[in-house]
Chain A
Amino acid sequence: MKKIFLFISLITIAVVAVFNSCSKKLDEANAAYPALNPIKPDANAGTWKPILLAAASEFPCAAPIATTSPDYILQLNEIKSFQKNITSDDKDLVNYWGAGAVLRWNEIMRELVAKHNVPPYQNPDGTYPIPSANNPLAYPLFPFSNPPYAARAYAYLSAAQYDACIACYYYKALYNRAAPFTVDATIQTLLPKSTLPSYPSEDAVVEGASIELLKLLFPGDQEYINQKAEEHKRARLIAGANVRSDIDAGESLGRAIAAKFIARARGDRAGAAVGTQAQWTQFETDAIAKGEIPWYSQESPKRPPMLPLFGKVKTWLFDSLTMVTTIRPAAPPSTGSAQFKTETEEIYQMQKNLTREQKKIATFWSDGVGTYTPPGHWNYIAATEFAQLGFSEARWARNMALLNMSIMDAGVVCWDTKYTYFNPRPMQMDTRIKTDIGLPNFPSYISGHSTFSGAASTVLGYIIPTKAQQFIDMAREASISRMYGAIHYRSDCETGLTAGNKVGSYAISRGHTDGAE
């Protein structure tokens, strides 16, 4: 028996040594963001140019109660009571939200995008059900947050956060109410002390705007969204950064501003982007009439193309005429041309001789089913950079808005182009071609990844000029990753990048004139 124990103990020791159970714990990058501590407070952000608001003061925010009033004292005591009974969970919450409101709500949206980025399962008759915003929890769950849906979602969230910040900073300057830790020195502050007036709370205004947009875009996840909102508000109180009235005023202001963005979203034609059978057939007929081989779904059963009318959705940075006349790329190589054959053969050879490193690049940028999509990937890249730069909430919001408006507009340009030319994928033309990463269900020209990345890298290079070349390199890698994945021709990728760059330049023009430089 002793020998048995000895043997088992030895094995167990060996196993524990090799497989330290602690090593199973994951070290996640988003847990390590530093607390928001602006180098420049951007106290004048109330004067920056809003996106939809007619003026920073378009939505009212009532004057705050005096810091000497009994109600205010009551609110100070609320903070003290939180702090007296503070738990380690509370501290975690404070640290989590302390990284920044724009950052965290952007991250929450990325999570919801990844959760919902799954194409619906077919009906028994081989057709596909279409998710309904009015019945989000019945199958097929709403939304199917594919790349165009996601691009638009990030853009609305960021744009609303930005306008909300402008209004918030306007009222901060107007009312100039001191922060609780300034009024009462016995209030502890668990986060860096902001030099800004604390009414209304910039965290709460971002929270208020964010939850309304998130509920619109992810209506089946309202409980989760509300829970996050409660945690956020609570974290600000525990941290001693705001009193209850700062939070309440900020949240109401944010929600009121969000309503304006929601009204725009309801009228931006995205609701009709799915199209109809007649329209799907029309794309095919038009391509054939032009003497081209039309795109066909390579899925089985054949799935209707993804959001074919997304190219008609209302853009942020330019009008539809500009898009069609100056941004939409010229036609791809004809499906009958020698160049087209050469490009198809290039993809066949590439996937046949793919190296492990190329496969890794294809996977790294793939951002397919079940991920936060390429727009989400660029949001993550941006957030990781911004977190190191000591931005104020207002600057975070402004930069994210420029980034995401450009990404959404890049998506619109890309989809407009895809459905103008309705070009087949390499696999449709050469059945020997196989992919390691999955084939998207929409036409080939131009590459969505390339267009998104072209726009995002241009805008990020404007925001962080010292890293411009790195962003360009990343965009090129994202672009060529689609060739490694054997799902795009070289023309798709190169033209996509250029189109994206153009879109990005419109965001830069806006940046030059929004008052934030």
Chain B
Amino acid sequence: MQNKYYSKKRVLVIVICLFFFQQTIFAQTDIDGIMMQKNFFCIGPTVDKTSWKNYWEGTFKRDNANLGTVSSTAAMIMGNYGITDKLNVLFGVPYIKTKASAGNFKGQKGIQDLSLWIKWVAKEKKMWKGNLKGIVMGGYATPLSNYYIDLMPLAIGMHSKTASIRLMADYEMGDWFATISGTYMFRNNVKLDRNTYYTTELHYTDEVKMPDANDFNFRIGYRSSTWIVEAIVDKMATLGGFDITKNNMPFVSNNMDATKLALHIKYDTDFVNGLSFVADANTTVAGRNIGQTSSFGGGIFYILDFSKKKKEETKK
């Protein structure tokens, strides 16, 4: 049952990119070319710590002694189930806690958003000496708690329901690979706890119009049955929104852009079949209305086999 292109060991790989003011969780499984085998369920916890001292107020880069270093710790449960070898569903649920090292603002904490993805290998063919896959994904995220969004540098999220469409191409040649993807995120309006607010004009409603966003992701590296090592470039941008004016507070519907470089490593253990460890690091190299984040994280995953074959084996 070992599929040539979908080794069960090539499983879950995680990078959590905690955007500053936004902190949307991006799991790397959503954005890599690896599939879970049919009836296999991979699940595990990850922990990630993101922090920033400098941020971009519009295009002006500054620090803020009234915040010091803002940090955000996320603990997340992620899972990926193979409906078929070519169709997977994925989910993630994070708990987030934020803190500012200086000043008077209270850190926030809570369960953030449930994210769900359907991932489908729509096309697959041999090309030159390797294998090319075309993957189509649909995603949905929805807040799981009534968390507070009006203290933007420290809020744990944006509280916006989000629907995403992602197109991805993954090329693999021997143990080397490259993946490119583009994502469009439809973001629903959000509600504040107050009935007026100012963007570039005064609004008399508690509802805030959220700009949609897009994301481009390119990753390249080594992928064997034991190790995955990859370098990643990710560029996310809102399509609209406004700049934080000088020394003003950030706001949910700001224009937020971030370009990140990341490194991801995964090791599939030899001693326990189905057990793997991941480690990630990323840094923001350019941005607008976001923090210049550095992030480190890791996780442990285990694959549960619900396939008939496994049951038969167990009977024997």
A360 contacts B by Cβ under 8 Å: yes
A508 contacts B by Cβ under 8 Å: no
Q: Which of B189, B247, B248 contacts A26 (CB 8 A)?
A: B189
How far apart are the CA atoms of A254 and B151 in the complex, in Å?
A: 42
Contact A120-B198, Cβ < 8 Å, known A4-B123, A359-B193: no
B310 contacts A by Cβ under 8 Å: no
The 7 tightest CB contacts between A and B, nearest first, are A434-B106, A300-B65, A363-B193, A11-B138, A114-B198, A121-B247, A111-B202
Kindly report which residue of chain B lies nearest to residue A108, judged by CB atoms. B202
Could you write out 21 A-B pairs with CB less than 8 Å apart?
A: A7-B122, A8-B165, A15-B186, A23-B188, A26-B205, A26-B207, A26-B209, A29-B205, A111-B202, A115-B202, A300-B65, A363-B194, A364-B194, A370-B251, A372-B198, A372-B202, A433-B104, A434-B104, A435-B105, A436-B151, A438-B249
Contact A369-B248, Cβ < 8 Å, known A26-B189, A299-B66, A300-B102: yes
Kindly report which residue of chain B lies nearest to residue A1, judged by CB atoms. B123
A356 contacts B by Cβ under 8 Å: yes
How far apart are the CA atoms of A14 and B108 in the complex, in Å?
A: 33
Kindly report which residue of chain B lies nearest to residue A141, judged by CB atoms. B246
How far apart are the CA atoms of A369 and B251 in the complex, in Å?
A: 12
Contact A363-B202, Cβ < 8 Å, known A11-B165, A118-B246, A370-B249: no
B222 contacts A by Cβ under 8 Å: no
Per-residue A-contact encoding for B24-43, CB less than 8 Å = 1, 0 else: 00000000000000000000
Question: Apart from A370-B251, A435-B105, what are 16 other A-B pairs with CB-CB below 8 Å?
Answer: A7-B136, A7-B138, A11-B118, A14-B163, A19-B161, A29-B195, A31-B204, A115-B198, A121-B247, A298-B104, A301-B65, A369-B248, A434-B106, A436-B108, A437-B151, A438-B105
Q: Judge whether A380 and B204 touch: CB under 8 Å.
A: yes
Considering only residues 134-167 of chain B, those with a C-beta below 8 Å from chain A are 134, 136, 138, 140, 146, 148, 150-151, 161, 163, 165
Q: Judge whether A26 and B203 touch: CB under 8 Å.
A: yes
How far apart are the CA atoms of A434 and B105 in the complex, in Å?
A: 5
How far apart are the CA atoms of A411 and B112 in the complex, in Å?
A: 40
Q: Which of A299, A351, A377 contacts B106 (CB 8 A)?
A: A351
Q: Judge whether B138 and A121 touch: CB under 8 Å.
A: no
How far apart are the CA atoms of A24 and B151 in the complex, in Å?
A: 22
Considering only residues 49-80 of chain A, those with a C-beta below 8 Å from chain B are none
Contact A371-B188, Cβ < 8 Å, known A111-B202, A139-B246: no
Residue in B108, B247, B251 with the greatest tally of chain A CB atoms within 10 Å: B247
How far apart are the CA atoms of A119 and B247 in the complex, in Å?
A: 7
How far apart are the CA atoms of A446 and B230 in the complex, in Å?
A: 59
- The minimal Cβ–Cβ distance linking B45 to chain A, given in whole angstroms, is 27
- The minimal Cβ–Cβ distance linking A221 to chain B, given in whole angstroms, is 12
- The minimal Cβ–Cβ distance linking B133 to chain A, given in whole angstroms, is 12
Chain A residues contacting B313 (CB-CB under 8 Å) are none
How far apart are the CA atoms of A377 and B194 in the complex, in Å?
A: 11
How far apart are the CA atoms of A64 and B190 in the complex, in Å?
A: 53
A3 contacts B by Cβ under 8 Å: yes
Chain A residues touching B, range: 35 or more
A110 contacts B by Cβ under 8 Å: yes
Q: Which of A29, A31, A364, A439 contacts B104 (CB 8 A)?
A: A439
Contact A28-B106, Cβ < 8 Å, known A118-B247, A360-B193, A366-B194: no
Q: Which of A26, A364, A439 contacts B195 (CB 8 A)?
A: A364
Contact A12-B165, Cβ < 8 Å, known A26-B205, A370-B198: yes
Chain B residues contacting A118 (CB-CB under 8 Å) are 245-248
Kindly report which residue of chain B lies nearest to residue A30, judged by CB atoms. B204
Q: Which of B193, B202, B207 contacts A27 (CB 8 A)?
A: B207
- The minimal Cβ–Cβ distance linking B200 to chain A, given in whole angstroms, is 8
How far apart are the CA atoms of A318 and B69 in the complex, in Å?
A: 48
Q: Which of B66, B151, B202, B247 contacts A110 (CB 8 A)?
A: B202
How far apart are the CA atoms of A19 and B245 in the complex, in Å?
A: 30
How far apart are the CA atoms of A120 and B197 in the complex, in Å?
A: 20
Chain B residues contacting A31 (CB-CB under 8 Å) are 204
How far apart are the CA atoms of A114 and B201 in the complex, in Å?
A: 8
A338 contacts B by Cβ under 8 Å: no
Q: Judge whether B106 and A436 touch: CB under 8 Å.
A: yes
Considering only residues 107-163 of chain A, those with a C-beta below 8 Å from chain B are 107, 110-111, 114-115, 118-121, 139
Chain A residues contacting B123 (CB-CB under 8 Å) are 4
Chain A residues contacting B66 (CB-CB under 8 Å) are 299-300
Chain A residues contacting B189 (CB-CB under 8 Å) are 23-24, 26
Q: Which of B106, B196, B198, B207 contacts A380 (CB 8 A)?
A: B196
Chain A residues contacting B197 (CB-CB under 8 Å) are 370-371
How far apart are the CA atoms of A107 and B205 in the complex, in Å?
A: 14
B192 contacts A by Cβ under 8 Å: yes
Chain A residues contacting B138 (CB-CB under 8 Å) are 7, 11, 14-15
Per-residue B-contact encoding for A8-36, CB less than 8 Å = 1, 0 else: 10011011001100011111111100000
- The minimal Cβ–Cβ distance linking A427 to chain B, given in whole angstroms, is 5
B56 contacts A by Cβ under 8 Å: no
Contact A3-B207, Cβ < 8 Å, known A139-B246, A364-B194: no
Q: Which of B196, B207, B246 contacts A371 (CB 8 A)?
A: B196
Kindly report which residue of chain B lies nearest to residue A380, judged by CB atoms. B196
Q: Which of A19, A300, A364 contacts B163 (CB 8 A)?
A: A19
Chain B residues contacting A24 (CB-CB under 8 Å) are 188-189, 209-210
Kindly report which residue of chain B lies nearest to residue A17, judged by CB atoms. B163
How far apart are the CA atoms of A433 and B205 in the complex, in Å?
A: 31
- The minimal Cβ–Cβ distance linking B64 to chain A, given in whole angstroms, is 9
Q: Judge whether A28 and B102 touch: CB under 8 Å.
A: no
- The minimal Cβ–Cβ distance linking A472 to chain B, given in whole angstroms, is 20
Q: Judge whether A121 and B207 touch: CB under 8 Å.
A: no
Q: Judge whether B205 and A27 touch: CB under 8 Å.
A: yes
- The minimal Cβ–Cβ distance linking B157 to chain A, given in whole angstroms, is 15
Q: Judge whether B151 and A28 touch: CB under 8 Å.
A: no
- The minimal Cβ–Cβ distance linking A315 to chain B, given in whole angstroms, is 28
